[in-house]
Chains A and B, each alone.
Chain A
């Protein structure tokens, strides 16, 4: 197992967690939940 792979994993993990936190703080969670709690007409083929 190369050291470079370990570093890449750690960097991607940190970026992913940072993205989740930054996105949540910028109001994206509200967009996601607003879409998800209403019936998605596009998903069922009538939107």
Chain B
């Protein structure tokens, strides 16, 4: 499952950021496809990006509309969430892929089980993505995308680094804010070598939203409890700190499928839930 998934992630990441002329000229794509949000955390100012970042777009509408949250962007995020849940994090998000590739670097690994730190991403979502863009406005009534401005390491990686490298006028404007964002980015990258997907687990507001959909999404990780022998292999292999045999729809599960590969009795399945024939059901 892992090699196939990595290939899928690479194809998805390249597909979402394949406007090569942008990387050559230091510009961003300005076509109509930017009206549509991609499912994962992918900065719309990445020179190769065809689509928009859902977190950035959500803040952009909040910054302009003093009275309400964006129906368009929340509708898109809701649609992705209902269909796939956090499968998006595990299979489609380019920044998730970057963290996973860093985790492949040989080093001492730190396994973090279920911790209260996972709730920090809900604080990031509530404060930086929703409350601050909605409430803090300048004298013209326009707010800032605070998550993008203060935290987003995907923006630093995908937009800041290539654009600053290619554009002299942007480079001349760099100051203290960039130093802060570069520090957040460096901390994320360094910690990703030892900890599996630290940003996804503890700080990603999009992962926080999609996690809430894990119980109800069409794509499900399912555990056949009548077949499960409780050997614990699935919990041992899960790098997100989940025990899939107990909580297959846990909000932290990114549906990577590693647990399905190690299950000796094939009790775990990833995909659309299939209704069993009556004869197979326990009485």
A interface size (C-beta, 8 A): 35
- A-contact 0/1 string along B21-32, CB 8 Å cutoff: 000000011111
Tell me the residues in window 163-177 of chain B with beta carbons closer than 8 Å to chain A beta carbons.
163-164, 170, 173-175, 177
- A-contact 0/1 string along B149-193, CB 8 Å cutoff: 100100110011001100000100111011111100000000000
Tell me which residues across on chain A come within 8 A of B79, comparing CB atoms.
13, 16-17, 20
* Bound Cα distance from A15 to B81, whole angstroms: 12
* Bound Cα distance from A46 to B56, whole angstroms: 16
> B67-75, B108-116, B194-202, B226-234: which one contacts chain A?
B67-75
A/B interface sample: 22 pairs, CB < 8 A: A8-B216, A13-B79, A16-B78, A16-B79, A17-B79, A20-B71, A20-B79, A23-B71, A23-B72, A23-B73, A28-B65, A29-B72, A32-B35, A32-B73, A35-B52, A36-B34, A36-B44, A39-B170, A43-B159, A43-B160, A44-B160, A45-B181
Report, nearest first, the 3 A-B pairs whose CB atoms are least far apart: A23-B72, A19-B75, A23-B71
Tell me the B residues contacting A by CB distance below 8 Å.
Answer: 28-32, 34-35, 37, 43-45, 51-53, 56-57, 60-61, 64-65, 70-76, 78-79, 81-83, 144-145, 148-149, 152, 155-156, 159-160, 163-164, 170, 173-175, 177-182, 216-218, 273, 275
